[in-house]
């Protein structure tokens, strides 16, 4: 890079941080290119999951999460990211162009960056302790700062959301192509660079109270002792946007990252739930019955306290930076 821009090592470090972002089934569907004065994020459609994610919404949300992770990483490294989203209408997979401005890291930037290596997707049952309203408010504020609404779903609306989640699971599990993708991307062998390892998939029931979790390949992760799944007191937040286009999905991904990192900083366990938004019927049900038809749902995020004595979760694998980052001299 030219003088006054992040050097090569800084950019590599920032991209490595970005690639710790969550993605649908840990598919990591992104690639990065270095320009003379900028960094560019592209959707990698070759890593899409057509049966799980026929609209490609999960893919773009995943890339949005990586974009926010990049922004957090750059801020902690002393650079403000100036983001131009969807900069080229003729290249729909060109999701963002990022320019840089020097900026002293704030304590909040350091705190969020420190949460990145600690964040995990926890698919286990959560404890019976409710999440305090003050923390829920912080999560909502983080989403709003990214231009996305986040609503904790309670009462009758929660019942409707749980119905939608169960319906989506039934629809998808009846599809042989969906089942084949689940087998391909979950329960992956040790040493794989993508996919959900068996060590991150709970053994036993996949239903906690009335919440039906997505069924993956057989797992190796034990549930917490002395906790009945029906005691799970996790909160469900629906992230939504005013429209349902590519920019909205990208923003929703950035908000997802912000919410998950804030939850991690607060000591919460978390798990994105995309399944009910992958089926048109249940996506519409959530829009109309849960959100009152006012906004377009993009993702459900489950947060709660990890079960008593819960073992730390292992990190999921990531592709090497060299596989996802193209230097300027190779363009």
pTM of the predicted model, to two decimals?
0.96
- Check: CB of residue 156 under 8 Å from CB of residue 291: no
Classify 133-304 by CATH class. Answer: alpha beta
Give buried/exposed letters for 102-130 (b at 16+ CB in 10 A, else e): eeeeeeebeebbebbeebbbbbbbbbbee
* CA separation, residue 34 to residues 3, 12, 18, 99, 331 (Å): 15, 10, 14, 11, 8
Same fold, 8-117+317-324 and 133-304: yes
**SS3 state at 276:** helix
Does 142 have pLDDT greater than 60?
A: yes
Q: What is the CA radius of gyration of the chain?
A: 19
Which DSSP letter does residue 317 get?
P
Q: What percent of the chain has pLDDT over 90?
A: 88
CA 31, distance to chain mean position in Å, is 16
Tokens of 257: 């990252």
Domain spanning 8-117+317-324: CATH superfamily: NADH Oxidase (3.40.109.10)
Phi/psi region, residue 116 (left: phi>0; alpha: psi -120 to 50; beta: rest), is: alpha
Give me the count of residues in the chain: 331
Q: 83-129, pLDDT tens digit by residue?
A: 999 999 999 999 999 999 999 999 989 999 999 999 999 999 999 89
272 HSE (CA, 13 A, CB side): 27
Tokens of 132: 């305090």
Domain ranges of the chain: 8-117+317-324, 133-304
C-alpha 199/C-alpha 208 separation (Å) is 19
pLDDT (mean) for 140-164: 98
pLDDT at 190: 86
Q: 14-43, pLDDT tens digit by residue?
A: 999 999 999 999 999 999 999 989 999 999
pLDDT (mean) for 257-263: 98
C-alpha 206/C-alpha 72 separation (Å) is 33
C-alpha 218/C-alpha 199 separation (Å) is 10
Helical axes 8-18 vs 57-76, angle rounded to 10°: 140
CA 67, distance to chain mean position in Å, is 11
Does 331 have pLDDT greater than 70?
A: no
- Check: CB of residue 315 under 8 Å from CB of residue 120: yes
pLDDT at 309: 83
- Check: CB of residue 43 under 8 Å from CB of residue 62: no
First to last CA, the chain: 14
Lowest mean pLDDT among 153-157, 232-236, 282-286: 232-236
């Amino acid at each position: 890079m030219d003088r006054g821009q992040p050097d090569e090592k800084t950019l590599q470090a920032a991209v490595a941080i970005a690639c710790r972002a969550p993605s649908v089934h840990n598919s990591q569907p992104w690639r990065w290119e270095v320009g003379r004065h900028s960094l560019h994020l592209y959707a990698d459609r070759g890593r899409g999951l057509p049966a799980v994610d026929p609209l490609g919404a999960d893919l773009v949300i995943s890339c949005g999460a990586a974009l926010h992770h990049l922004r957090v990483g750059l801020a902690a490294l002393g650079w403000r990211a100036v983001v131009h989203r969807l900069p080229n209408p003729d290249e729909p997979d060109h999701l963002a162009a990022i320019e840089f401005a020097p900026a002293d890291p704030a304590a909040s930037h350091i705190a969020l960056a420190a949460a990145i290596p600690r964040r995990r997707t926890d698919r286990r049952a959560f404890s019976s302790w409710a999440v305090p309203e003050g923390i829920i408010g912080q999560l909502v504020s983080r989403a709003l700062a990214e231009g996305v609404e986040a609503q904790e779903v309670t009462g009758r609306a929660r019942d409707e959301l749980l119905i939608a989640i169960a319906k989506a699971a039934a629809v998808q599990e009846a599809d042989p192509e969906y089942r084949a993708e689940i087998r391909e991307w979950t329960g992956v062998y040790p040493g794989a660079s993508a996919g959900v390892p068996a060590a991150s998939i709970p053994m036993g029931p996949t239903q906690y109270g009335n919440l039906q979790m997505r069924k993956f390949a057989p797992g190796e992760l034990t549930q917490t002792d002395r906790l009945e799944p029906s005691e799970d007191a996790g909160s469900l937040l629906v992230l939504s946007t005013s429209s349902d286009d590519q920019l909205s999905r990208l923003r929703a991904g950035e908000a997802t990252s912000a919410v998950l990192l804030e939850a991690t900083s607060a000591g919460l366990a978390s798990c994105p739930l995309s399944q009910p938004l992958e089926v048109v019927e249940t996506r519409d049900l959530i829009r109309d019955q849960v959100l009152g038809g006012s906004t377009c749902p993009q993702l459900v995020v489950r947060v709660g306290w990890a079960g008593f004595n819960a073992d730390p979760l292992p990190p999921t694998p990531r592709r090497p930076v060299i596989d996802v980052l193209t230097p300027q001299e190779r363009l």
